[in-house]
């Protein structure tokens, strides 16, 4: 094997060991799903990962993701959109995304719903099969800054105020082309991830009391996957621990 496939194979193996250990020590039976975050990395790496059994990949910028998904359509991967999303990008994202993890406001729900409807029409016109419903995770701001305060770390990462989660869930649940998958969060900078993910778990419980199928918890990155697994994460989003340090922003 060449150097890069060997490197990715070894890193992926090590990450899977970390996940297995975390699952064991938290006493869980069902392991979480691994989403490998490939943002800023080339399609050659994604081909290697697909060959190593990775089926779910995450991207955070529409322009980059649209180009990659077009080139790699034949691999049949599930693409997870995990970055901040402007409403005017919804039409593009629904062409390739299996799931969006960053739904955080009513206007985005409306835009995604309309975009799905338009996508289904254009597939019907092209005699193509309809796409499945778009899985939507509600991104929650755990920094305590969602009310618009300034200067609180983490707020720039986006997310809905915890108090707004059930209302957003109702909108997503009512949208024909969208399915409510659960909640998502990034641990706030400088905070204890275990404490933050425990709060996310509580928010998940209250969402599930209204929408029992919305049991997904998308949480955990390279640095805090153990805390996320312990708090019940169902989807881990792991980038640098698999791919190495990200190249500088182009």
Ligand X SMILES: *Cc1c(COP(=O)(O)O)cnc(C)c1O
Q: Which residues bind ligand X (CB under 6 A)?
A: 37, 39, 60, 82-83, 186, 221-223, 237-241
The nearer residue to ligand X, 138 or 238, going by C-beta atoms, is 238
CA separation, residue 36 to residues 15, 49, 75, 97, 153 (Å): 10, 9, 15, 14, 25
CB of 247 to ligand X, least distance (A): 12
Contacts of 215 (CB under 8 A, 6+ apart): 182, 204, 208, 234
CB of 218 to ligand X, least distance (A): 8
Question: Which residue is closest to ligand X by CB?
Answer: 239
Per-residue tokens: 180: 């409510």
CB of 154 to ligand X, least distance (A): 12
Burial of 92 (0-12, 13-18, 19+ CB in 10 A): middle
CB of 19 to ligand X, least distance (A): 12
The nearer residue to ligand X, 119 or 181, going by C-beta atoms, is 181
For tokens 């490197």, what's the residue? 7
Burial of 176 (0-12, 13-18, 19+ CB in 10 A): exposed
Q: Are 56 and 77 in contact (CB under 8 A)?
A: yes
The nearer residue to ligand X, 155 or 237, going by C-beta atoms, is 237
243 membership: H or E segment, kind and range? helix 240-243
Neighbours of 102 (CB within 10 A): 23
Give ∠ CA 207-209-210 in degrees, rounded to 5.
Answer: 70
CB of 99 to ligand X, least distance (A): 12
The nearer residue to ligand X, 83 or 188, going by C-beta atoms, is 83
The nearer residue to ligand X, 232 or 239, going by C-beta atoms, is 239
37 membership: H or E segment, kind and range? strand 33-37
The nearer residue to ligand X, 128 or 223, going by C-beta atoms, is 223
CB of 40 to ligand X, least distance (A): 9
């Amino acid at each position: 094997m060449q150097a890069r496939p060997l490197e990715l194979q070894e890193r992926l193996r090590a990450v899977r060991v970390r996940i297995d250990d975390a699952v064991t020590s938290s006493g869980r039976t069902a392991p979480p799903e691994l989403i490998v975050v490939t943002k800023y990395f080339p399609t050659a790496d994604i081909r290697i990962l697909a060959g190593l059994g990775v089926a779910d990949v995450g991207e955070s910028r529409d322009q980059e993701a649209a180009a990659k998904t077009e080139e790699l359509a034949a691999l049949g991967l599930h693409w997870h959109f995990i970055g901040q999303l402007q409403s005017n990008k919804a039409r593009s994202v629904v062409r390739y995304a299996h799931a969006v993890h960053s739904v955080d406001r009513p206007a985005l729900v409306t835009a995604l719903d309309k975009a799905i409807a338009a996508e289904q029409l254009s597939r019907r016109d092209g005699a193509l099969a309809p796409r499945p419903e778009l899985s939507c995770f509600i991104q929650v701001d755990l920094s305590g800054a969602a009310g618009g305060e300034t200067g609180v770390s983490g707020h720039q990462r986006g997310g809905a105020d915890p108090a707004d989660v059930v209302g957003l869930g109702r909108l997503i649940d009512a949208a024909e082309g969208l399915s409510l998958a659960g909640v998502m969060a990034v641990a706030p900078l400088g905070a204890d991830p275990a404490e933050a993910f425990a709060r996310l778990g509580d928010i998940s419980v209250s969402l599930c009391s209204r929408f029992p199928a919305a049991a997904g918890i998308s949480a955990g990155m390279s640095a805090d996957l153990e805390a996320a697994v312990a708090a019940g994460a169902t989807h881990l989003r792991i980038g640098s621990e698999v791919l190495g340090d990200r190249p500088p922003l182009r």
